[in-house]
């Protein structure tokens, strides 16, 4: 399966899980040129087909002329690919469950095994540290570079009052992490309500996190998501 088709599957899967709606986007580094990456043109992710996938350089400029508009926030992707040679896939999203953790000082912690990667640490980026008075969107390379610096070596970064950006060594892991980051946020809020605060929640410890993240690749999930997305795509094409 081509990387373009994988991106179609990723976009539709993230939309189906309500993690991205008409906004948010997934990308994958080119498997033939690490100085380039693929993402959809400016389109609701649920509508993306292979024909909508555009190739960009790491300055987030399209490699070939395209008559289509591109995502305003594509600089998130290009600048992270520059800063993190290990990253092969990125998802930027506005998960409603995650945003409250971006603006309250309440730290996201790994509450269950499918989101063990949360235990690797998720910093929060405040766009005001880079520029004041923005519309909150990462519309420039300078803002993208600033965000990439806050991400550092971590698997994700929260963006205050906006959402998050999740990275991984492959696309299925980036998609899985994004979906389970959203689930983790909801579970953590539920647990805090049950327990009367975060103090009484037992989170995964560092050894458990390390034992899980070494292998967790969301493979069974990816096979399922792929089959469902491709079936839907085939039905649309009649
Ligand atoms: Zn955004």
Confidence tier at 1 by pLDDT (50, 70, 90): low
Closest CA to 15 of 49, 48, 46: 46
Annotation marks residue 73 as catalytic = yes
Digit-coded pLDDT (tens) for 152-183: 999 999 999 999 999 999 999 999 999 999 99
DSSP category for residue 21:
S
Digit-coded pLDDT (tens) for 120-155: 999 999 999 999 999 999 999 999 999 999 999 999
Report the share of the chain in percent with pLDDT over 70.
100
Q: For residues 75 and 55, what is the distance between their CA atoms, to the nearest angstrom?
A: 13
- Note the pLDDT of residue 172: 97
Digit-coded pLDDT (tens) for 63-114: 998 889 999 999 999 999 999 999 999 999 999 999 999 999 999 999 999 9
Digit-coded pLDDT (tens) for 27-54: 999 999 999 999 999 999 889 999 999 9
Confidence tier at 21 by pLDDT (50, 70, 90): confident
Residues with CB under 5 A from ligand 1 (ion): 73
Q: For residues 194 and 188, what is the distance between their CA atoms, to the nearest angstrom?
A: 10
Question: 165 C-alpha vs ligand 1 centroid, how far in Å?
Answer: 9
- Note the pLDDT of residue 123: 98
**Element of type H or E holding 182:** helix 171-195
pLDDT tops 90 at residue 115: yes
Give the DSSP letter string of 28-85: EE-SS-TTEEEEE-SS-GGG--GGGEEEEETTS-BSS--SS---GGGHHHHHHHHH-T
Question: 137 C-alpha vs ligand 1 centroid, how far in Å?
Answer: 6
CB 24 within 8 A of CB 173: no
Digit-coded pLDDT (tens) for 193-223: 999 988 889 999 999 999 999 999 999 999 9
Phi and psi at residue 92, in whole multiples of 5°? Answer: -105, 130
Identified catalytic residue from 46, 55, 73, 169:
73
Question: 196 C-alpha vs ligand 1 centroid, how far in Å?
Answer: 32
């Amino acid at each position: 399966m081509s990387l373009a088709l994988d991106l179609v599957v990723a976009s539709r899967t993230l939309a189906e899980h309500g993690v991205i709606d008409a906004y948010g986007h997934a990308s994958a580094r080119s498997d033939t040129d690490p100085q380039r990456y693929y993402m959809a043109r400016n389109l609701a992710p649920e509508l993306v087909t292979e024909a909508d996938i555009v190739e960009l350089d790491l300055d987030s400029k399209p490699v070939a002329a395209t008559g289509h508009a591109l995502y305003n926030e594509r600089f998130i992707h290009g600048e992270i690919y520059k800063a993190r040679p290990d990253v092969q896939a990125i998802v930027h999203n506005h998960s409603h469950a995650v945003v409250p953790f971006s603006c309250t000082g309440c730290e996201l912690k790994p509450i269950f095994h499918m989101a063990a990667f949360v235990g690797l640490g998720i910093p929060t980026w405040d766009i005001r540290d880079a520029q004041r008075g923005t519309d909150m969107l990462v519309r420039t390379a300078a803002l993208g570079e600033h965000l990439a610096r806050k991400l550092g070596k971590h698997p994700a970064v929260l963006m205050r009052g906006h959402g998050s950006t999740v990275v991984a060594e492959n696309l299925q892991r980036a998609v899985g992490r994004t979906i389970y980051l959203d689930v983790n946020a909801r579970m953590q809020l539920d647990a805090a309500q049950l327990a009367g605060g975060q103090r009484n929640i037992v989170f995964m410890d560092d050894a458990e996190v390390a034992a899980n993240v070494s292998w967790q690749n969301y493979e069974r999930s990816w096979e399922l998501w792929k089959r469902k997305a491709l079936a839907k795509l085939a039905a649309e094409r009649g």
